[in-house]
Amino acid sequence: MLTKRIIPCLDIKEGRVVKGTNFVELKDAGDPVELSKIYNEQGADELVFLDITASYEKRDILIDLVERTAEQVFIPLTVGGGIRTVDDFRKILRAGADKISINTAAVKNPELIKNASEIFGSQCVVVAIDVKRNYIDKDKLESKELGDKNIIKIDNKYCWFEVYIYGGRKGTGIDAINWSKEVEELGAGEILLTSMDADGTKNGYDIPLTKSVSASVKLPVIASGGCGALEHVYDAFEYGKADAALMASILHYREYTIQEIKEYLLKKNIPVRL
């Protein structure tokens, strides 16, 4: 059985790590280079570095920060934010990244997934999918307007999962489950799945979302958004069927170490690398 991965996430704004709730109310959480070094030493399996305002501000990612972060870690480093072209992939990989995460660019130009996968290999291409629940009235379940949306029943309510771009600022009308299948066909190597509803709440990952996407593709799925306790990580693996768990707040604010998380998971018979 493949071991499950624990992945700290560094959301970067203006050169600092930040953390918010539901993608807003951002607070400073530290220096990205220093935090990267700490997580590398604690035994993180990988690290994700996201320049969260680059796409919205239509600017390039902070290359020098990527380089300085890459110098401090000896585990796979995924970098995302403001990446729009194959040449951007090339620049970030040369700066020290092992994988590239794309969200807005993937939605606006799906061929980028295919082209990058063919040039650099699918293992380099991570498609990030930011998702919000879109609730619908029961009497509209048969509406033609819903088209091919995948309707999920959660706590006696009905919803579908909508993809958002530009750092969660703009809905696309795209169904996340359908989009997951499409990015797999285009050659993505992994999906980074973030629940905007759960993000920063510390109430746990969106298990129905994670499970629905995990069951729809053969790609590894990274659960993201909402981790606030050890039990939440277990739930993402056991019930959400995720392959990796991304987390920020509980690590940045020293609530748990990666070692403590992994030891807990081992006791619950979840295979991890110590």
Residue from 11, 88, 235, 243 carrying the catalytic annotation:
11
If residue 117 lies in a helix (H) or strand (E), which one and from where to where? helix 111-120
Angstrom distances, CA of residue 87 to CA of 4, 49, 100, 125:
32, 19, 12, 14
SS3 40: helix
Residue from 45, 130, 175, 235 carrying the catalytic annotation:
130
Lookup: tokens for 268: 């619950």
Residues 6+ apart with CB under 8 A from 37: 72, 73
CA distance 28 to 222: 24
β-bridge pairing 5-13 and 244-247: parallel
Lookup: tokens for 32: 């990205």
SS3 91: helix
Asked about 130 being catalytic, the answer comes back as yes
If residue 149 lies in a helix (H) or strand (E), which one and from where to where? none
CA distance 103 to 217: 17
SS3 4: strand
Active site residues: 11, 130
